[in-house]
Structure 1
Amino acid sequence: MSVVTLPVSEDEAEIRLDRWFRRHYPHLTQGALQKLCRTGQVKVDGKKAETSTRLQPGQMVRVPPIPNAAKPAPIAPVVDERDIKEMERLVIYKDDHVIVLNKPSGLPVQGGPGITRHVDGLLDALRYDSEHRPRLVHRIDRDTSGLLLLARTPGVAAKLAAAFRTRDVKKTYWAVVSGRPSPAEGVIDLPLARLGAGPGALTVAAERDDEDAAHALTEYAVRDAAGRKLSWLELSPLTGRTHQLRVHCEALGSPILGDPKYGGEAAHKDGFEDRLHLHARALVLPHPAGGTLRLEAELPPHMRDTFRQLGFEAGQTRAARRS
């Protein structure tokens, strides 16, 4: 074992140092890496670095002797032909850098207690002969349908994660809600807090002086309404808190139709499918290779049926376009 110095590739722009190590030395634990950084054994361009340091192409990473450096990466889970066909049906856009899915309602993005089938566990189905497994760069709720963006390489994942972090990505959701919000458009400015921990924890609107509450902003506009019974809202989250849209709609007095967790009886109406009516409709983001990528996703079947019953006209879904 000896010290080696490795270059950062073009594809690894903006990747964190700990993720760079995870890619090249998958057996090295986070704790062990933190110790190597803390003791100055890991350096970037000759300078001491932290695990959160973001790398740039051409930089040189000093790697100290690492036991079992030749240990192979864990074997990726096997996906069968059915998995491949199922996942490919969800793809609405693909290029050399990104893959975009229209995720159905009810399919979790990641695993958890009692969850054995989820998007993250099926991403090997979307390799398309690439050496890299696609990577998640953001999340949407299990019961929310719509756009889910995947990066095809680690470097692209770092760039897209940075775009979401700096709010360079514009997200638009459609929802069917109980009642008719007044005023018809505005900004919901309510901090959010978590009650409890784990998958059953609730997110609630909190007092502004609550030190544990997180700042949360949502723009909303009523697109159409069926009297005062149900309305079609367009929602744009300006922050990305857990269950933000669902809690903000409840706080507005118009919980999302079919919401199993928030809104109580007002979220459930006879004659409509009792599933969450929240859809990630559009994304506008900087493309990793330059320009702007604009995406839209068709409504899921249960929301199409509700729109038809209420006479809401969604219009034509535009094909993905990069400019």
Structure 2
Amino acid sequence: MFTLLHQTPDFLVICKHAGVSVHKDDNDQPLLAEVAAATGDQQLYLIHRLDKMTSGILLLGRHAKAAAELSGNFARREVQKFYLAISSKKPKKKQGTVIGDMSRSRRRSWKLETTRENPAITQFISTAAGDGRRLFLCKPCTGKTHQIRVALKSVGAGITGDDIYGQEAADRGYLHAFALQFTFQGQVYCFICPPEQGELWQGAQVQTALAGWSAPWDIHWPSLPSGLVKPRVD
């Protein structure tokens, strides 16, 4: 269900496994309860969320004060998040930025609009992943539901194993929360979590790319227009 990556008196960093929901109504044994049982915490606070199909880094507060500060960092867009994805399709462009409002579409899906009133913003670079597939390193500058999944579909590269937006079935949905950087109480924290679940991550070209992306916050990402990224309002 999860792997514990790091713990301090204020927060935990775990790797959520693919296929595990962070929502109580989807689990007979909710994720937070499982983590708390393993760490001895009476209560844990979910700072951000990952889709059920998405594996990778998840940050949990260990008390209310820490949770409020960390949640504030996310709300003010002060946290750098990086995701990995694999697609069986070549994108319309190998790198770039996807910007647009998102709206509800059919059933569980969302769609990207051409308007930019409160846009989802996703930057990405990509490289060959073997067997005609493409590996993406994505940097979401906002935190909308299904944002990366919709962004990659919009450039013609739906994620492999994504049963809503993808074009190829697989042993899992190939989206992984790879890295996280944030400041807490004046200290900068950086976490990297390479993906382990899923045979497509193990290919030689993918592993070589991951070695080159070991510090994604040091990559030169293009600057965004001033005022485009707005603080989150819940």
Residue type of the partner of 2:177?
A
1:238–1:317 CA distance, 2 compared to 1 (3 A): closer
What is the CA RMSD across the aligned residues, in angstroms? 2.5
Distance in 2 (CA, whole Å) between partners of 1:149 and 1:296 is: 12
1:233-291 CA-to-partner distances (Å, cap 9, x unmatched) read 0001111111011011111100001101113xx233xxxx331000000000012x321
- Report the counterpart of residue 151 of structure 1 in structure 2: 61
Cα distance, 1:217 vs. partner? 0.6
1:212-237 CA-to-partner distances (Å, cap 9, x unmatched) read x851110000133437x210000011
1:188 aligned to 92, 98, 103, which one? Answer: 98
- Report the counterpart of residue 20 of structure 1 in structure 2: none
Q: Does 1:166 align with 2:76?
A: yes
- Report the counterpart of residue 221 of structure 2 in structure 1: none
Q: Is contact 1:178-1:257 (8 Å) kept?
A: yes
Query: Where does structure 2 lack aligned partners over 5 or more consecutive residues?
Result: 215-234
Residue type of the partner of 2:186?
G
Distance in 2 (CA, whole Å) between partners of 1:100 and 1:308 is: 23
1:19-55 CA-to-partner distances (Å, cap 9, x unmatched) read xxxxxxxxxxxxxxxxxxxxxxxxxxxxxxxxxxxxx
Percent pairwise identity? 25
Distance in 2 (CA, whole Å) between partners of 1:285 and 1:223 is: 26
Distance in 2 (CA, whole Å) between partners of 1:150 and 1:267 is: 33
Higher relative contact order (CA closer than 8 Å, sequence separation 6+): 2
Q: Is contact 2:12-2:59 (8 Å) kept?
A: yes
Residue type of the partner of 1:267?
E
Stretches of 4+ moved more than 6 A in 1?
A: none
Q: Is contact 1:105-1:300 (8 Å) kept?
A: no
- Report the counterpart of residue 128 of structure 2 in structure 1: 224
Which is greater in Rg? 1
- Report the counterpart of residue 37 of structure 2 in structure 1: 125
3-state SS of paired residue (2:211) = coil
1:258 aligned to 143, 161, 181, which one? Answer: 161
1:122–1:242 CA distance, 2 compared to 1 (3 A): same
TM-score, structure 2 as length reference: 0.82
Distance in 1 (CA, whole Å) between partners of 2:175 and 2:200 is: 12
Q: Is contact 2:87-2:160 (8 Å) kept?
A: yes
Residue type of the partner of 2:97?
V
Cα distance, 1:306 vs. partner? 1.0
3-state SS of paired residue (2:150) = helix
3-state SS of paired residue (1:235) = strand
Query: Where does structure 1 lack aligned partners over 5 or more consecutive residues?
Result: 1-85, 319-323
Q: State how many pairs are aligned.
A: 213
1:253–1:306 CA distance, 2 compared to 1 (3 A): same
Cα distance, 1:126 vs. partner? 4.3
- Report the counterpart of residue 180 of structure 2 in structure 1: 283
1:316–1:234 CA distance, 2 compared to 1 (3 A): closer
TM-score, structure 1 as length reference: 0.60
- Report the counterpart of residue 230 of structure 2 in structure 1: none
Q: Is contact 1:296-1:317 (8 Å) kept?
A: no
